[in-house]
Structure formats: structure tokens, C-alpha cells
Structure 1
Amino acid sequence: MKNPQGSGLADQISVIGRPAKFWRLGAVGALLVTAFAVIPAHAADPEPEQDKVLRVCQDPNNMPFSNRDLKGFENKIAELFAKDLGWKIEYTWYPQRMGYIRNTLKKKVPDSDKFECDLVTGVAVGFDMGATTQAYYHSTYAMAYVKGKGFDDIKSPDDLLKLDPTKLKSLKLGVFGRSPVVDWLLKNGLADQMVSYQTQTGDPDQYPGEIVEKDLASGKIDVAFVWGPIAGYFAKKSLVPIVAVPLKSQPNLRMDFSIAMGTRYGEKEFKDRID
């Protein structure tokens, strides 16, 4: 559920994402400091579960959210939660593709009353396969392009539509299927320019950020439309100068979403503790 574009953060974010101000990786630290500053002291919390283990479900290869090297911001958040609780942390790794919740949050450990994990990071508020916590960030979709390729004056999707019609019709526009951006492209007669990306490829080595890091940077596509944190992270990381422009919601077309964590239904005490 990491890329409000499909069934992972993708599909979840088609149901998922922050109003106007889109994330840049540099802002993550400040946001987390603010978020954790308002977490109340928990001296009055009920006694923690007996084994004192925070079992977290995360994607092993989906930066800037999470990876096996624990370099993603959701890895960091989970670590902070475990530290605050005074618990150990354990991870269940599974690509955020079809079957993600079935193989993590809802999967029982054989010969045990425990599940593979108890907390999923990065799901949309409104996620319907479990209960959701309070949102911990809000973002929007973004449009990304390589600087110096004739797009430098584009500051919004409407600016893209103002390009010379011949140039506009020649563009290759990368977009994830089932994202709200698809509706915007269809509405503006750009269906023939769409290069569609799958959010559930079945290949664990693939990750949503490739649309920016590889295809946009190499010129395979001219403009990439992707979940904001992904656009910001890979634009900053790229050796090619990439510009990321946040997309604002429009009447009847929402581009921004709030992201929460997921727990199993019926585990109110645990969910309340995470909140």
C-alpha cells in the first residue's frame, strides 16, 4: 500500500494520500519530529502483551517507504514505535502486491495462535481489510519530468495541457493503472499518450520507483505521474536533474490522500496503543 496507485500503496492510494503540499524527502524528518512530539506519555497505558514484540509487515523493496536494509521512513517509524513501547521488533517481509494482507496480517503462524505480523504500515485511510489507525502522513500524486527537456515552465498539469498540440501529442506519459491520474488523462484526451504501468507485476524485484529512477531518467517516458513521496525521493536521488510537481485535487477528482497503519479487526486494545 504504498503507491496510491494500485493494490499495494497503489490500489490503496487510489483510495489513499496530503492536501496541497507534497512531500519531499527532506521534509520527512521534520514531519516525524512533529508527529512524535504530540504522542502523549503512556505511563497509564495498559500492560503490554506478554511477549512484548512488535510484529510489523513491510515491503522488502519499496523505497522511500521500506526495504530489508531498514532505510525507509516507515522502517524508521516502526523502530521508533518499538522503542517507545519498550518492545522488540520483528519484521515479516512481503511485496505489497496481490495477497499482501492475506500473507501477512491475516496469516497464522503454523501451530500457533499468533499471526505473521500485527501491524501493517502504509495503508490508505479507508482501507477495508483491517482497522486503520490515525493517519500519520498526508501526500498527493506528483508529476515528474527531466529538467532541460522543454518542460521547465510546467508548474501544474494545466501547464502541460498548454504545450504546443503537436508536442503534447508526441509525449509518452507514464502512469500507474487505477490511479486517479488515469482519470485526469482520459478527461483531457491524452489516452493515446499513456504508457501504463502495473502495480501488481508479480516480480518482487520490481518497485514503483523504477518509473522515475529508470524509465524517466533514461528517456523511455517523457513525464511520470506517481505517488508524491516516490517522485520526491527518486527525483532527489537521481543523477539526472528531475523536477517533481505536486498535483492538486480538483472537483470530482481527488489527488491527495491520508496514510495510516492497519491492524486486524477486533484488536481494539492494540490499535488504541498504536494510536
Structure 2
Amino acid sequence: MKSVGRRAMLLALVGVVACLAGRDVARAQVNDSGELSIELVDPKVLRVCADPRNLPFSNDKGEGFENKLGELFAEKLQKKLDYMYFPQATGFVRMTLGSHRCDVIMGFPQGDDLVQGTNPYYRTAYAMVTKPGSGLDDVATLEDERLKGKHIGIVAGTPPATNMAIAGLMANAKPYPLMIDTRYDSSAEAMITDLTKGEIDVAILWGPMAGFYAKKFNPPLHVTPLVKETTGPKLVYRIGMGVRGADQNWKRQLNRLIQENQPAINKILLDFGVPLLDENDRPLGAETATKSP
């Protein structure tokens, strides 16, 4: 999903399709024990690659859930936390991780070959957002006939757009741009604003964004993860962290941190409204969030 998502998911997802310009040569550092470290920019600092304005993921005020995860990991590693900020757009990986200005991207869909991924630390899906009382609260799939003729917001180029096209929902769809400069624009925020104003009937967003914006309203907007699609691409993804291809020891260390701190990680994600799913696509709540993705 990366690039099928948050960086095409997220990432197409939200969007970023950048490209690493070749393999980086890691800079050597000497740590306190006198051993040579060739993987990290500075062994004493957790240096995170992040977008300065991309809530709920991160911002330069430290308000996103990836900021909170960075704080958690820095504490566990007993390192200082620092950031290399760059807009989540074309060139993000190349200008941050690929240029050795930072050592980890806190959220990257599994399967994206721009980086080497850690083990996943959460599993989520694109989601449908509706207003309470709209009559669409129990719609669970884009194939539902009740969506015919509805005005549906969709980020252009993201996986659910394909599902919508197959279901014949594009005629009345309102597209929002995938590739944006997050310093100035937010397709997710614009879509949710249109939903609350009645300009669209349904918003289709990457799960973390859907949950984050839904919580801002009283009563909260209704969020339904799209886990029941039978046509088009699957809309559920595992999200891990991204490191450079050569950074094997660092990857193993992050994997241990994820395993040892999964309950704390899940709590952070749930606090931000991220719709967490287990391997059977069932929602994880506070009482079940000790499970690994």
C-alpha cells in the first residue's frame, strides 16, 4: 500500500512515489564501546525521517502518532530524538533516508521496494466515512447498491478508486488530488469538510486519516474499514517502518522494539483513531490491542 498507499497509499494512499537514486554508502561512526557503526547517522540519536505537516502521521510540532512512536522508541533506546523533515511528496525517500540524513521512516506499507521494511506494527485498511443518521452507517462494501447515485469523495489514483470504478460509482464521484504539497494542502481535510457540509455523501480515505478526522466531530463521524471487497484490489495493508537496504542490524533492533512494545504502540494508534485490524480483518479495540498485527 505504500505507493499503493500512504506514501502511494500512504503513498498512493496518500501519496508518495519517490525513488532512491542508487544504493547509499553508509557513513562510519564510532560508538561508546569503540565499535564501528556503519548504519546510523549518529548512534546516540534516533533520527527520524518525517513530513512537517501531515497529520495524523507527523508534523514539526510533534503532534502526530508517528511523532509519539518516535518518542517511545527514543526512550526505549535511551537516545536523543531528532527529525529530518521533508514534505511527503516525490523525492521524499531520496532526500531523507536515501541521503543519509535520517535513519528510519516510521510508517511504510509492506511490499514497497523503495526501502527495506521492518516487521509490521499495525494492520489497517481504507475506510468509508459517513455522517451519523445518513442511512449509510451499515454499508460495509463499495459494492452495496445503496451507494448508487451517491456523491463519493475519493483520492484520485488510490486503490479504492479501482473498486469504485468496477462498482459503477465514478459518475458522481468527486476526486481529490493524490500528489500534493502537504505544507499547503490536505486532500483528506478537504474531503471531510465537504462531507460535513453535505457536498458529498461518503468519503473514502486511508484508515488512519479516516479515523483521525472522524474523531474531531461530536458525535463522531462513522468509519467503516473496507475489508469485504470481492472485486478490485484488496484494501487492507500491513504497515511497518522503513530503513536503508544495508541496515540489517538496525532493522533487527527495530523489530525487537516493535515486538516488545506492541501494546504501547497499539494504544498510541487507537488514541489517534486508527482502525486497527487483526489478521482476520476483525477490529482491534483497547481490550484486544495487545495482539500483534
Decide whether the 8 Å contact of 2:156 with 2:178 is kept in 1.
yes
Alignment partner of 1:264 out of 232, 244, 248: 244
How do 1:36-75 residues align onto structure 2 when only pairs under 5 Å count? 51-75=43-67
Q: Does 1:139 align with 2:131?
A: no
How do 1:71-150 residues align onto structure 2 when only pairs under 5 Å count? 71-107=63-99, 115-150=100-135
TM-superposition CA deviations, 1:171-229 (whole Å, max 9, x none): 22111122221111111112212211112123522234314432212222221101112
How do 1:140-179 residues align onto structure 2 when only pairs under 5 Å count? 140-159=125-144, 161-162=145-146, 168-169=148-149, 171-179=150-158
Shift, 1:116, TM fit: 1.4
Shift, 1:96, TM fit: 1.2
Which one-letter code corresponds to 2:213 in the other structure?
F
Q: TM-score, normalised by structure 2?
A: 0.71
Alignment partner of 1:193 out of 156, 163, 172: 172
Gaps of 5+ in 2: 17-34, 256-293
Query: How many angstroms apart in 1 are the aligned matches of 2:205 and 2:192?
Result: 12
Decide whether the 8 Å contact of 1:6 with 1:179 is kept in 2.
no
Query: How many angstroms apart in 1 are the aligned matches of 2:221 and 2:230?
Result: 25
Pair 1:6–1:194, CA change in 2 (3 A):
farther
Which one-letter code corresponds to 2:245 in the other structure?
Y
Decide whether the 8 Å contact of 2:9 with 2:159 is kept in 1.
no
Decide whether the 8 Å contact of 1:58 with 1:91 is kept in 2.
yes
Q: CA RMSD in A?
A: 2.7
TM-superposition CA deviations, 1:75-117 (whole Å, max 9, x none): 111111111111111101122111111221112xxxxxxx211
Which one-letter code corresponds to 1:162 in the other structure?
R
SS in 1 for 2:12: helix
SS in 1 for 2:46: strand
Residue of structure 1 equivalent to 2:12:
11
Query: How many angstroms apart in 1 are the aligned matches of 2:14 and 2:213?
Result: 19
Q: TM-score, normalised by structure 1?
A: 0.75
Percentage of identical aligned residues: 34
Gaps of 5+ in 1: 16-45, 108-114
TM-superposition CA deviations, 1:101-153 (whole Å, max 9, x none): 1221112xxxxxxx211111111111211211111110011011112334344
Decide whether the 8 Å contact of 1:235 with 1:242 is kept in 2.
yes
Shift, 1:265, TM fit: 1.3
Alignment partner of 1:204 out of 164, 177, 183: 183
Q: Does 1:184 align with 2:163?
A: yes
Which one-letter code corresponds to 2:55 in the other structure?
M
Decide whether the 8 Å contact of 1:8 with 1:98 is kept in 2.
no
Residue of structure 2 equivalent to 1:33:
none
Which one-letter code corresponds to 2:207 in the other structure?
G
Residue of structure 1 equivalent to 2:277:
none
Query: How many angstroms apart in 2 are the aligned matches of 1:61 and 1:81?
Result: 21
Decide whether the 8 Å contact of 1:125 with 1:259 is kept in 2.
yes
Query: How many angstroms apart in 1 are the aligned matches of 2:109 and 2:94?
Result: 17
Count of residue correspondences? 232
